[in-house]
Structure 1
């Protein structure tokens, strides 16, 4: 796999901007927090577990897959930031076992929907009124190419929830555009994160194979990645930073795929 590139960042591009990034302690979420913070934004993040070295003033520990958790985060945004200019819903993931649809219980389905769809819906409902009041804002929902290419072996619930998030986002953009608030989506393919490696390990365990075989199985199910590798989290963060910046002022209601060419259709 090729090494990560470095990028030149304007450390004042987002000066004065108040940002919430959900799921911002690992993977692409952590990269988004770092990218926007480096560019001058005041970034609050949230996760179920507090990482070592987290800044207490800019971290809210909560499970946003629950209504109580989203309420806690919304209060934290108002109390600590005094308002909100940018929301990036990066939280997401799947704990579904391998084995296809028959392995997905009622509880698993509800967990997938709560984390990958309802967390964003609930937080938007609480925070968007602040954006409407000030007449501006930017929102990015992290969806997935699995809304187009679901992996039937392992991620049906996740893929369905992300497809619903994409549809919800498009509808939201229609409503909020006239109010000065831009809503866009970023649909990653395979990102090289600890979560994706955990999924590989689960699939290997379920099938009784090794991780390399499971990893190749995911690649085969996706139809391959033409550039030959997953995306780096920092590459996803660069796309998000562009979409919430003034450089993208006329980009609204769109979905940007970042998958190394995995999706084979136009």
Structure 2
């Protein structure tokens, strides 16, 4: 195969596309020729209104609003990238997680993908083609008991759901894959490193080292960049990955110590 990777002519929905790796993925998909739609609760000032839908995807109605916008604005979808995720759970281990905290983790990290796939994947099946990418996390393999039990559990559920979906729809022409990032150096993670540095009386580099140590170390010596994550997602979404489905691609600088 010759030529550059392209997504020209593809209609893509990217959730959580207003910051971090999500924003990098939106930008790259547009550069590669895709028609893109993304969402968040509020629209950033630098995002063109024609590619944005205001929706709270932690709620059923928000997912319905976004699915309807996909149909009305793009007439369907060829690629879905479920970037949305994160955690607001407090530290303190399992005992600090009540009903509200558990439900919040599931509402953010699992159920939006389930609801949007339920609304949009049947259209992919009908057209006989499509790609669904679920962004999971290495935390499903390396949970941090002090702080990420709920998040890691929700991402583990997303991974199992993704595998099951892939087995069901692959014979119908729809590929489903997972991307599992480790630590990504986003604006939010830099702010965390800065806060840790202040608390420990060190500098930003020291704060980053603290995060890497909490993960058991990153052999590469640094976190991934949003652009690197976006590059992997773009390849998997493209026709160049046409026989890849049902599997997970880890991008973590070697953090996970086993194959």
TM-score of the two chains, using structure 2 as the length reference: 0.93
Residue equivalent to 1:15: 8
1:158 shift after superposition: 0.6
Instruction: Give the number of equivalent residue pairs.
Output: 255
Divergent runs of 4+, >2 A: 194-205, 208-218
Alignment of structure 1 residues 67-106 onto 2, 5 Å: 67-106=60-99
Q: Following TM superposition, by how much is the alpha carbon of 1:209 offset from its aligned partner in structure 2, in angstroms? A: 4.5
Distance across 2 between alignment mates of 1:29 and 1:263: 22
Partner of residue 38 from structure 1, selected from 25, 31, 46 = 31
Deviates more, 1:94-103 or 1:194-203: 194-203
Deviates more, 1:242-251 or 1:209-218: 209-218
1:167 corresponds to which of 160, 184, 187: 160
Partner of 1:176: 169
Q: What is the CA distance between 1:201 and its match in structure 2?
A: 6.6
Equivalent pair of 1:231/1:259 in contact (CA under 8 Å): yes
Contact 1:58–1:80 under 8 Å retained in 2: no
Q: CA deviation at 1:103?
A: 1.6
Which runs of 5 or more structure 1 residues have no equivalent in the other structure?
1-8
* Among 52, 59, 79, the residue aligned to 1:66: 59
- C-alpha distance in 2 between matches for 1:216 and 1:237: 24
Asked if residue 152 in structure 1 is aligned to residue 161 in structure 2, the reply is no
Is 2:136 the partner of 1:143? yes
Question: 1:22·1:90 contact (CA, 8 Å) conserved in 2?
Answer: yes
Alpha-carbon distance in structure 1 between the residues aligned to 2:245 and 2:174: 9
Q: d(CA) in 2 for partners of 1:202 and 1:142? A: 27
Structure 2 unaligned spans of 5+: none
CA distance in 1: counterparts of 2:141 and 2:194, whole angstroms = 24
Match of 2:252 in 1: 259
